[in-house]
Structure 1
Amino acid sequence: MPPKTRFAVVALFIFLCWKGHSQTLSSVILDSTTQEPIPYVTVQLNKRGMITNEEGRFSFRLNEKVNESDSLFISCIGYESIGKPINEFTENIIYLKSKAIELNPVIVTNKNYSPKEILELVEENIEKNYHQGLSKKRVFLRQTFQNNIIQTDYTLRKSTIPALNKQFLDSVISTVPKSSTFYTEILGDLYGGSDGDEQKLDLIKASELYDKSKELDYDALEARFNEIVKKNIKTDSYFKIKSGLFGTKLDSLELSVTEVDSTDSEALQKALEKEKKNKEERKKFFASYQRKTLGNLYENIPVFEDSDYNVLFRPGRYHLALENFTYIGNDAVYVISFSPKGSQEYKGRLYVNSDDFALLRMDFENVDPLRKFKLLGVSLNEYLAKGEVIFSKGKDGLYHLRYYNILKGNRVGFKRPVKIIEKNKNVKGRRRQNELSLKVDAAFGSRNRYEMVVFDYDQINTGAFEAFKEHNNVLPTYLPNYDPEFWKGYDIIAPNQAIQEFKSQVEIEE
């Protein structure tokens, strides 16, 4: 199917439903010549910004303050901008035309700047162009986790418990999913500045999209182990797990299953209280994890000096080249490529406004593994980190982070002997009771993507930051299939085709 036809079929129609609060403007943006989707296009309406996803799609929520005559502005690097009233967008697809490069007077005047001098001017103007203090930001974060098992070989050396045999271990391994995809989406207000550890998060809504049939059935596995434990292990024993690198102790009683008699009101009440406490702990953990993820992303944008992408502050450590001139909207832009001279980790391109020397966009990709080691059979290879960072002007006239996208790839290996030893200090003369000894050769891979969109940005002072108290009471809603209604009424980055078509295997079978 030709690209034009394909995207015409899958494109979400532009539609305006002027009823209540359900108005939505959705479309796909294509290159008028190649018919290919244009990713990361800036779409603005009444000083509110949106970014198209990697498939060129966007969805804009229209509130009661939006009129049909309000103008929608669309701009992207290297393309002619579009700006016209909403009611004039009547096509299913929006096409952008490439913009011819014509050197305007500003670039002609500055044409003698070297790439290094341009970056020095960017650094010199950072405080003027970007707010670097405390702020409140409405953020949407989509996390995609793709995991796969590369290898699960083992050799059973010894087992003194007949039930823990090769057949049992093979059956356990066969239940472990070989690959899985997991999506988490959150919307909230992030309070803080450039320090990733000094952040506060007000969660509004969250979802998890994954196939439960591809999860390891921990309950069934635990039941099988518990049955073996009850028949073969003394209740006052403990386990020692050894791999030559570490040793840990596990009380066998922790493996037992405690059933609550529904007629025992006191025991039932304790069980309910425990469940409630566990739920509250899950809420705290979820909020804490999301806060740290957002903080780590935000503190690492290239206009902050401690960022991993330090090319603005250490230009002498990179090979720089002025590749081209282009436009973002009506702004003339320098296109500068960078690659490391020595131990720096990233290469990429910088797009710098020729008028105010603001960094508008950075594309980056690692040149070598970010972390790689192999020691005593344990290996780690962080082999991939690539993405984009995009800035745009806010209502305060300063540039702010609009979009941050990074794809990370990791491979972990484990090739070591493992021993699980039952010990019992109450058995005279023979503390060691049973033993399971294995030689494990396993490898696991993951590709994780983080997309953060910033919709609203307000400067705040220290008093406002300290006055805000987190009261996160949100756990993600589980979705077995993509549900277009879940985020209705909220601004998010449009889901890609894979998310829209996601269906759990269990649902299909039913």
Structure 2
Amino acid sequence: MTLTKLILALCCLTIFSAKAQQTISAKIIDSTKHEPIPFVTISIDDKTGTISNDKGEFNLTINRPISTSDSLYISCMGYEQKTFAIQNFTESTITLNAKNIDLSEVFITNKNYTLDEILDKVKEGLKINYDFGYAKRKLFYRESYYTQMLKTDVKIEKTTIPEFNQAFVDSIITSVPKNTDQHTEVLGELYGQVKASQPQKMEILKASRLYDKQTEITLENYEKRFNEIIRKHVKRDSYFKIKSGWFGTKEEIDSTFFGDNQEQKETAEFIEKKKEQEAKRQENFLKWKKSTAHNLENANFLNEDSDLNFIKKSRRYEFEMLDFVYFNNEFVYTISFKPKRSADFEGTLYINTQDFAIVRVDYKNVKPLRKFGLLGISMKEYLKEGTIIFQKNAKDKYTLKYADETNGQQVGIKRPLKIIEKNKNVKGRRKQNELAADIHFIVRNIDKKELIIFESTPISETEFNDFTEVADVIPTYLPAYDPEFWKGYNIIEPNTAIKNFKIIETSN
């Protein structure tokens, strides 16, 4: 081969490779309101694709040569579908028009059912409309955890320990991070029955963890931070016993938050259990993420143990017919629900007018789901909201397409605190000085989970049993958001918090 021919061949290969992978990014907005449209389905030739995030943004990578016949479909409930030729796609913003519904079209093949009749048919179809069999699901799972310290008050009532004064305590409080967040992302394939509590197998293709190791709010980090501060400021030959019954640690300085006897034992067991849980999450990443992804997959009205009971316990809710919308080329009832008596949620159901399957539900709690308060420690689950979207698979049954769930907790600690100084070289009672204070901490945690299933392929039980799970992928640690990490992969476009994540270097 001559040099000219070799150069020509390499140029052709480069051009072919460039066209063999194409990335499409855009934002989808309402043509009238000019507001982002979340959860829009973006698909290639109406088969595979992704979904837009809550800001209407999406990023779709096509890993094959693009032909002139390839089309990009943009579809969303209540909007007219749009189609683009992929080869000529250059849009950065896509506008969708609301679709007007002609009610005469709806009732051509469907009688005018009452609201109660529709709900009865929904219940009848729960076992036949949805696929609970074995399947391989190619998925992307993201979990974001946000922590915000709302109150960190420590008021000293009395102190005879020179180092432990109000200024010193305030400096400790200031050093504790007030806001932290961390994000875990997993691309993989989940094998098993699409049903709660059924064993699953998983192959993780790629994963990342985006967080700051130094400011991660864990028991071990607080122990480490506290003991570093004590060692730095206390130079005398003493050790300290700290009583609050909250949490504990024991170091050379003997800084322990334990009470006495049974309280000490129970608190110690609690601390060790928390440490073990944190260690397991780090060490057994595959098992942990397989479980969380499968739990989110089943966190819906099909699961008898779910809090989302607005179908199976419909008598607790008040329903109202709102409208009709167009979704995946079919008409859909839009029905709102809210608590009638002691129920917890309000939201909107989208029900197919032909088979009465729920194809989407948006929900949000209307009151705290759980409350707890004892001995100055309180906990309140104040938030649970989300969106669930189903689509049909190759067996013409509905399977999960997308799930988004946000949970919020608020934990408060309001207790007296006592620090007792002792000296190891003094015989007898050894009690020398003490500090008495009141502490009042309030922390808010928000856990946001997202799951998109790109493909759900039915498999046999034999295929499931023959698949061998190998736990050989651990998440890549990212100290800052890196847009190159997921380049070439289809994921849910990250939100602003993830894109802006960056560890801020601080000096000790």
The one-letter amino acid of 2:196's match is D
Higher mean C-alpha displacement, 178-187 vs 154-163 = 154-163
- The answer to whether the 8 Å contact 1:282/1:475 transfers is no
- The answer to whether the 8 Å contact 2:68/2:87 transfers is yes
Query: Quick check: 1:187 aligned with 2:187?
Result: yes
Instruction: After TM superposition, list the pairs within 5 Å mapping 1:396-415 onto structure 2.
Output: 396-415=395-414
The one-letter amino acid of 2:229's match is R
Instruction: After TM superposition, list the pairs within 5 Å mapping 1:170-209 onto structure 2.
Output: 170-192=170-192, 193-196=194-197, 198-209=199-210
- The answer to whether the 8 Å contact 2:378/2:413 transfers is yes
Shift in CA distance, 207/230, structure 1 to aligned 2, threshold 3 Å: farther
Query: Quick check: 1:453 aligned with 2:452?
Result: yes
Query: Quick check: 1:479 aligned with 2:484?
Result: no
- The answer to whether the 8 Å contact 2:238/2:424 transfers is no
- The answer to whether the 8 Å contact 2:122/2:357 transfers is yes
Higher mean C-alpha displacement, 300-309 vs 215-224 = 215-224
TM-score w.r.t. length of structure 2: 0.81
- Offset, 1:497: 3.7
- The answer to whether the 8 Å contact 1:39/1:56 transfers is yes
In structure 2, what is the Cα distance between the partners aligned to 1:92 and 1:17? 24
Higher mean C-alpha displacement, 354-363 vs 300-309 = 300-309
The one-letter amino acid of 2:204's match is L
Partner of 1:418: 417
In structure 1, what is the Cα distance between the partners aligned to 2:253 and 2:202? 35
Higher mean C-alpha displacement, 465-474 vs 247-256 = 247-256
In structure 2, what is the Cα distance between the partners aligned to 1:281 and 1:80? 48
The one-letter amino acid of 1:115's match is L
- Offset, 1:71: 2.2
Deviations 1:80-108 (Å, cap 9, x if unpaired)? 11234323534332221111111255535
In structure 1, what is the Cα distance between the partners aligned to 2:294 and 2:425? 50
The one-letter amino acid of 2:396's match is G
Partner of 2:98: 98
Instruction: After TM superposition, list the pairs within 5 Å mapping 1:121-132 onto structure 2.
Output: 121-132=121-132
Query: Quick check: 1:224 aligned with 2:223?
Result: no
- Offset, 1:430: 3.2
Shift in CA distance, 112/279, structure 1 to aligned 2, threshold 3 Å: closer
In structure 2, what is the Cα distance between the partners aligned to 1:443 and 1:162? 28
Instruction: After TM superposition, list the pairs within 5 Å mapping 1:216-365 onto structure 2.
Output: 221-226=226-231, 231-233=236-238, 242-243=243-244, 246=245, 250-253=249-252, 283-365=282-364
The one-letter amino acid of 1:182's match is Q
Deviations 1:154-188 (Å, cap 9, x if unpaired)? 12345565434433322111111222333222222
RMSD: 3.4
Deviations 1:40-88 (Å, cap 9, x if unpaired)? 1111224213111111111112012653422222211111112343235
Shift in CA distance, 247/181, structure 1 to aligned 2, threshold 3 Å: closer
- Offset, 1:307: 2.4
In structure 2, what is the Cα distance between the partners aligned to 1:425 and 1:281? 37
- The answer to whether the 8 Å contact 1:148/1:179 transfers is yes
Higher mean C-alpha displacement, 491-500 vs 331-340 = 491-500
Deviations 1:245-285 (Å, cap 9, x if unpaired)? x48775434979xxxxxxxxxxxxxxxxxxxxx99966434
Deviations 1:108-163 (Å, cap 9, x if unpaired)? 55453222321221222233321113333222122222221111111234556543
- Offset, 1:348: 0.6
Partner of 2:365: 366
Report the identity percentage: 43
SS in 1 for 2:379: strand
SS in 2 for 1:128: coil
| Number of residue pairs the alignment of both structures matches | 466
Shift in CA distance, 501/314, structure 1 to aligned 2, threshold 3 Å: same
Instruction: After TM superposition, list the pairs within 5 Å mapping 1:48-67 onto structure 2.
Output: 48-64=48-64, 66-67=66-67
- Offset, 1:333: 0.6
SS in 2 for 1:126: coil
- Offset, 1:308: 1.8
- Offset, 1:421: 5.4
Gapped regions of structure 1 (runs ≥ 5): 1-15, 257-277
TM-score w.r.t. length of structure 1: 0.80
